[in-house]
């Protein structure tokens, strides 16, 4: 009896794999089918490089859902420059090697006009390098600060979301002024964490604060209590930015360790994207502050544009799937896909882009943009765009956990997060 039970899943998986392989090769064939070059009314093809599987899967799901919604809105508006938009999604498995292959596939098999969507830093780096080889405009939606530092190339843009450096600069005065001056940082032990460490240490000093200790935790860690003895006793604020599956355990153990008398907390919502604030174990966050790029709860930002965006994507007022309240969105990141698609629309229409041969004009047109106005196209808020660095800057939100919900208590201005980016891509040849 039990023997058969264990036997079953194996044969089932084999059948599923075969069926999946068949379907995949069918899809690949369809993609290779030659299509005539652009004619009026031919669809504009935009490739979404999505983290459908791998560690970024939760983000990937929402990036895709947001992009599908945005494309539907754009097509209902009459498309881009009169042409319908066709969204083609490829999974990069949140894997750098796969990212290069996906870029290749977009350029040679799908013949897309533009690619957008990678988020995780190592994947972004790989896609950015391929973008230059393939001369394919790539719009990252990643918060990575490398772009504005000049580490990528002229084909890579970030028009939909602010980067980490700007976010950290914008929230530092609030952290030092309202949470605590002697800060211990708890960060993941890789580049994303180091970005936070470097930018915040610098910003905190400028505000008269001090980073007492930095505790870097390997991203695969599952138990955290052992690290807490490294927190200096005179710490009055803990700055935490954790990603990965361990975050709920992290918060609960922090609560067990400190009880009610511990230092105050300031965190980045990255730790809790796709996680319900009312999850068991997160009670300890009550009263603490979190950075958000786009308020998860409707009450935090209820402009016309934000409401329109949330309805189109299918979010309830708590920032979860309106059909399944347990499915919490990654609202502080995914809006970037929406805004990116509308920035592409704006640039295509302004440049008179028709096809791959117009990419040079298209890129120069994007570089000439200086701002995006708040509205349905840019629901997160107005953006300032620094053309030579290919990076946009926007406002940030600081929310407090109140009764298991997030309440916006402070909104920064664009200027709070503005800095002089090092990059000048306009000097590079196209």
- Asked if 221 is part of the footprint of other proteins (rule: CB under 8 A), the reply reads yes
| Angle, alpha carbons 304-296-77 (nearest 5°) | 40
- Asked if 418 is part of the footprint of other proteins (rule: CB under 8 A), the reply reads no
Is the CB of residue 93 less than 8 Å from the CB of residue 60? no
- Asked if 228 is part of the footprint of other proteins (rule: CB under 8 A), the reply reads yes
φ, ψ of residue 186 to 5 degrees: the values are -120, 115
Closest distance of CB 338 from other proteins, Å: 25
Pairing of strands 383-386, 391-394: antiparallel
Choosing from 25, 108, 223, 357, the residue that interacts with other proteins (CB under 8 A) is 223
Choosing from 39, 40, 41, 280, the residue that interacts with other proteins (CB under 8 A) is 280
Closest distance of CB 385 from other proteins, Å: 36
Closest distance of CB 397 from other proteins, Å: 26
Instruction: Name which of 3 and 39 has its Cβ closer to other proteins.
Output: 3
DSSP string, 172-240: HHHIIIII-SEEEEEEESSHHHHHHHHHHHHHHHHTT-EEEEEEEE-TT----HHHHTTS-TT--EEEE
Pairing of strands 405-411, 397-402: antiparallel
Alpha-carbon span 382 to 244, nearest angstrom: 31
- Asked if 371 is part of the footprint of other proteins (rule: CB under 8 A), the reply reads no
Choosing from 117, 246, 379, 381, the residue that interacts with other proteins (CB under 8 A) is 246
- Asked if 321 is part of the footprint of other proteins (rule: CB under 8 A), the reply reads no
- Asked if 11 is part of the footprint of other proteins (rule: CB under 8 A), the reply reads no
Is the CB of residue 216 less than 8 Å from the CB of residue 244? no
- Asked if 5 is part of the footprint of other proteins (rule: CB under 8 A), the reply reads yes
Chain residues 27-86 in contact with other proteins, contact rule CB under 8 A: 53, 57-58
- Asked if 9 is part of the footprint of other proteins (rule: CB under 8 A), the reply reads yes
φ, ψ of residue 293 to 5 degrees: the values are -90, -35
Count CB-CB contacts under 10 A for residue 197: 18
- Asked if 13 is part of the footprint of other proteins (rule: CB under 8 A), the reply reads yes
| Angle, alpha carbons 357-73-366 (nearest 5°) | 35
Name which of 342, 347, 314, 348 is nearest 328 in CA terms. Answer: 314
Q: How many chain residues interact with other proteins (CB under 8 A)? A: 34
| Segment near other proteins (CB under 8 A); pick from 106-114, 251-259, 295-303, 315-323 | 251-259
- Asked if 350 is part of the footprint of other proteins (rule: CB under 8 A), the reply reads no
Closest distance of CB 370 from other proteins, Å: 42
- Asked if 308 is part of the footprint of other proteins (rule: CB under 8 A), the reply reads no
- Asked if 6 is part of the footprint of other proteins (rule: CB under 8 A), the reply reads yes
Alpha-carbon span 140 to 17, nearest angstrom: 32
- Asked if 108 is part of the footprint of other proteins (rule: CB under 8 A), the reply reads no
Choosing from 91, 146, 253, 270, the residue that interacts with other proteins (CB under 8 A) is 253
DSSP string, 281-322: T-GGGTT-EEEESS-SSGGG---HHHHHHHHHHTB-TTSEET
Instruction: Name which of 256 and 415 has its Cβ closer to other proteins.
Output: 256
Name the residues that contact other proteins, by CB under 8 A. 2-3, 5-7, 9-10, 13, 53, 57-58, 218, 221-223, 225-230, 245-246, 248-249, 252-253, 256-259, 279-281
């Amino acid at each position: 009896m039990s023997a058969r039970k264990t036997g079953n899943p194996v044969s089932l998986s084999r059948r599923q794999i075969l069926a999946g392989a068949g379907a995949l090769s069918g899809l690949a064939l369809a993609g290779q089918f030659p299509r005539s070059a652009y004619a009026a009314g031919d669809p504009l093809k935009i490739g979404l490089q999505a983290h459908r599987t791998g560690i970024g899967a939760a983000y990937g799901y929402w990036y895709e859902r947001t992009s599908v919604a945005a494309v539907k809105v754009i097509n209902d508006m009459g498309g881009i420059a009169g042409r319908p938009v066709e969204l083609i999604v490829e999974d990069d498995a949140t894997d750098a090697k796969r990212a290069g292959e996906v870029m290749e596939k977009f350029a040679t098999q799908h013949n897309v006009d533009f690619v957008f969507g990678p988020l995780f830093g190592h994947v972004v780096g790989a896609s950015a390098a391929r973008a230059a080889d393939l001369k394919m405009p790539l719009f990252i939606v990643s918060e990575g600060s490398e772009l504005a530092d000049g580490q990528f190339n002229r084909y890579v843009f970030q028009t939909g979301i602010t980067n980490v450096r700007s976010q950290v600069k914008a929230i530092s005065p609030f952290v030092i002024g309202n949470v605590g001056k002697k800060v211990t940082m708890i960060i993941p032990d890789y580049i994303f964490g180091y970005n936070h460490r470097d930018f915040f240490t610098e910003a905190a000093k400028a505000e008269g604060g001090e980073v007492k200790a930095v505790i870097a935790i390997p991203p695969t860690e599952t138990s955290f209590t052992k690290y807490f003895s490294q927190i200096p006793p005179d710490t009055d604020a803990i700055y935490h930015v954790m990603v990965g599956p361990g975050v709920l355990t992290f918060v609960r153990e922090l609560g067990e360790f400190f009880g009610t008398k511990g230092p105050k907390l300031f965190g980045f919502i990255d730790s809790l994207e796709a996680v319900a604030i009312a999850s068991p174990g997160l009670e300890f966050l009550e009263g603490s502050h979190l950075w958000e790029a786009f308020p998860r709860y409707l009450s935090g930002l209820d402009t016309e544009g934000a409401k329109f965006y949330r309805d189109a994507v299918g979010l309830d007022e708590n920032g979860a799937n309106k059909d399944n309240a347990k499915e919490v969105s990654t609202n502080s990141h995914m809006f970037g896909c929406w805004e990116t698609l509308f920035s592409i629309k704006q640039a295509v229409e302004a440049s008179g882009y028709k096809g791959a041969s117009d990419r040079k004009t298209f890129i120069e047109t994007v570089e000439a943009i200086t701002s995006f106005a708040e509205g349905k196209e840019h629901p997160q808020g107005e953006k300032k765009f620094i053309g030579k660095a290919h990076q946009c800057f926007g406002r940030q939100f600081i929310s407090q956990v109140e009764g298991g919900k997030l309440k916006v208590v402070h909104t920064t201005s664009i200027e709070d997060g503005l800095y002089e980016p090092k990059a000048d891509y306009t000097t590079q040849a196209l």
